Structure 1
Amino acid sequence: MRSATAIAHPNIALIKYWGKRDRQLNLPSVSSLSLTLDTFQTQTTVKWGSHSDSFVLNGTKNQGKEAQKVFSFLNLLEPNRPYCQVESFNNFPTAAGLASSSSAFAALALAASSAGQLPQAALDQRHTLSVLARQGSGSACRSLWGGWVLWNKGHKEDGTDSHAHPIHPSDYWDLKLIVAVVSSEPKKIGSTAGMIHTEKTSPLYPLWVQSSDDDLEEAVHAIEHKDIQRLGAVMEHSMLKMHATMLAARPAVRYLKPQSLSVLDKLEDLRSDGVLCYGTMDAGPNVKILCEAKHADRISQAISPLTQAVHILGVGSDPQIIDIK
């Protein structure tokens, strides 16, 4: 029985991905830009050649939708695969808008490929793993790298040109990303269901797609010049547009909570005092705050009364194999 254990970090999209041009292949309607986080991580062990398929998440055997997604993904990786055991652990809340699926499927792709029969040439090409991880969870393709990562939406129907690539390493810019946890409960509407409903019913969705390339170009330029004010402004703009598009769906897709808005209001107050800090949110209520490292403690203290927990994170590194047998 071959096994491998991998660790991957979640990433937070600064320029958002929301909507798919091909649901089966998980091809996005827009390109996106992300920052890989440190500290938060998923550790996944895959053992090929067991007596039956088994998936354990955070110490609990799972036989629901999550298990189905895991084994469907492994079928893509190894169409004639043997049974396998998968054990995964997140050291941060799962399915609460903290990008757990990005690290989960990045770790799964790396561990399963290393333990399985994927040709070594493919293993050496991380773009190949990025394409594979994307089919498990779109954002997972960005967690195959640390630092600053761009996911190109691609144009080919087969999706082979829709993968992520790094634009700057983790030590490029000394920034922090503060996670303001206002709820650790699993969200009621999953990202895929929310995307499909938004695409079908929101009159703002076409405008969201049309304007995303401009946001991406501005963000890349801001990162090149290490201009946090410009990057933060376009990051917030992308996030608010995404949530506005969801809110315009019928019925609305609402991940925002009153506490989320209170944190965003506090960031405006801090900016008026000269503290450059900017918020973003994914498909969940928790707020992520981009700031210069020197301001992280002050921001954390200011928002702490509004949250359940505050985590100050740095920029994360590449995923890695920590054990193989």
Structure 2
Amino acid sequence: MRAKARAHSNIALIKYWGKRDERLNLPAVGSISLTLSALWTETEIEFSPQFQTDQLILNDKTASPEETGRTSRFLDVLRKLAGINHKAVIQSHNNFPTAAGLASSASGFAALTLAAARALHLSLSRKELSVLARQGSGSAARSIPGGFVEMHAGQSADGSDAFAEPIAPPAHWDIRLLIGITSGAAKKIGSTAGMNLSKTTSPYYQAWIDAQHADLTAMRQAILDRDFERLGELSEYSCLKMHALALSSNPGILYWNGVTVEAMHAVRDLRRRGTPAYFTIDAGPQIKVLCLPEDENEVREMLESIPGIREVVSNKPGPDARILEADE
């Protein structure tokens, strides 16, 4: 009972921040994301009655008890579906920094969902896989499909309508997202803790929720119309609103470092000089810049010129999560 899967990270263009149900990882708002071609997680899992406990090896190191416990609780959901109690050994590898604002939990739990479902011989639709992945990590639901993806917040208490589906496949639109890595360190405040703090302390939380429908509608249309200027404006706007919400929590949550801020100014300076480029930032210090293919080299040179940018990773719209190997 073994399988191996690969899933790609995703970056939200219209951000997700806040949960309506933490136990089921139900988002308070919908979101729209871009699956990334160059950032991925590969996860191999084997279930066996000979294993006494679940074991998680992450990037060739034994995971912490907290990480292993989170993974075990998630696997319990799939084991219950399969009617099997076997423990598992999981080996997972990210080709990018973990827990640093690059959605490693998204690709990680999406790959784990796919591999575990195949190893347990569960026959599930892409929607059902997305619903399951969401229970591991809210953003993992968006890493099941490729390309341009919308996550539905849903309304049902059981979460059956909170899932992600594609707006358009990767081939729909050849755009670029360049990531400037400013730090490889794990963030001090995890996303779930940050979301909970914003929900309970920020005076702007309800306004964030109320404005989301209009942003989602506009972004969906911008993608279908291939309107890059509109896509960029909406992405930057949603990013700054999310971080304003985090900053307005008590105590305020600051995910940026000095390099992040310098890069934000540099992107806007580049745009003022006539190059259409727009930034977005998740819950971490890494800067992501959206641009068109013909401007990729100029944006890369700009990012590489900023002191403190360690590496620049270029992405196109990435593929669906997929099985790489499986026992029959």
TM-score range, shorter chain: over 0.9
For 1:319, the equivalent position in structure 2 comes to: 321
The answer to whether 1:29 aligns with 2:31 is no
SS at match of 1:268: helix
For 1:86, the equivalent position in structure 2 comes to: 90
CA distance in 2, matches of 1:32, 1:315: 17
Question: Is the 2:5–2:322 Cα contact (8 Å) retained in structure 1?
Answer: yes
For 1:230, the equivalent position in structure 2 comes to: 230
CA distance in 1, matches of 2:12, 2:18: 14
Q: Deviations over 1:32-51 (max 9, x none)?
A: 00000012110000100142
Which of 108, 111, 120 matches 1:116?
Answer: 120
CA RMSD after TM alignment: 0.9
CA distance in 2, matches of 1:212, 1:277: 23
Q: Deviations over 1:199-222 (max 9, x none)?
A: 111111111111111111111111
Structure 1 residue 305, shift from structure 2 partner: 2.6
Structure 1 residue 292, shift from structure 2 partner: 0.3
For 2:61, the equivalent position in structure 1 comes to: 60
For 2:300, the equivalent position in structure 1 comes to: 300
Which of 107, 110, 115 matches 2:111?
Answer: 107
What one-letter code is carried by the residue in structure 2 that aligns with 1:265?
Answer: H
Structure 1 residue 64, shift from structure 2 partner: 2.1
- Mapping of 1:1-325 within 5 angstroms? 2-49=1-48, 50-52=50-52, 53-79=54-80, 80-118=84-122, 120=123, 122=124, 125-306=125-306, 307-325=309-327
Structure 1 residue 76, shift from structure 2 partner: 1.0
CA distance in 2, matches of 1:92, 1:187: 14
CA distance in 2, matches of 1:26, 1:159: 8
Q: Deviations over 1:249-284 (max 9, x none)?
A: 110011011211111101111111111011001100
For normalisation by structure 1, the TM-score amounts to: 0.97
Size of the aligned set, in residue pairs, is 320
Question: Is the 2:204–2:248 Cα contact (8 Å) retained in structure 1?
Answer: yes
SS at match of 1:171: helix
Q: Deviations over 1:164-194 (max 9, x none)?
A: 0001000111101000111111000000001
SS at match of 2:233: helix
Runs of 4+ in 1 over 3 A off after TM superposition: none
What one-letter code is carried by the residue in structure 1 that aligns with 2:71?
Answer: V
CA distance in 1, matches of 2:204, 2:278: 24
Structure 1 residue 314, shift from structure 2 partner: 1.1
Question: Is the 2:38–2:314 Cα contact (8 Å) retained in structure 1?
Answer: no
Q: Deviations over 1:24-79 (max 9, x none)?
A: 11111100000000121100001001423211000001132111111110001113
Structure 1 residue 227, shift from structure 2 partner: 0.9
Identical counterparts, % of pairs: 43
What one-letter code is carried by the residue in structure 1 that aligns with 2:303?
Answer: I
SS at match of 1:146: coil
What one-letter code is carried by the residue in structure 2 that aligns with 1:206?
Answer: Q
For normalisation by structure 2, the TM-score amounts to: 0.96
CA distance in 2, matches of 1:305, 1:42: 29
Identify the range of structure 1 (298-307 vs 88-97) with the bigger mean alpha-carbon deviation: 298-307
SS at match of 2:172: coil
What one-letter code is carried by the residue in structure 1 that aligns with 2:324?
Answer: I
What one-letter code is carried by the residue in structure 2 that aligns with 1:322?
Answer: L
SS at match of 2:29: coil
> Taking structure 1 as reference, are residues 63 and 185 closer, same or farther at Cα in structure 2, changes over 3 Å only?
closer
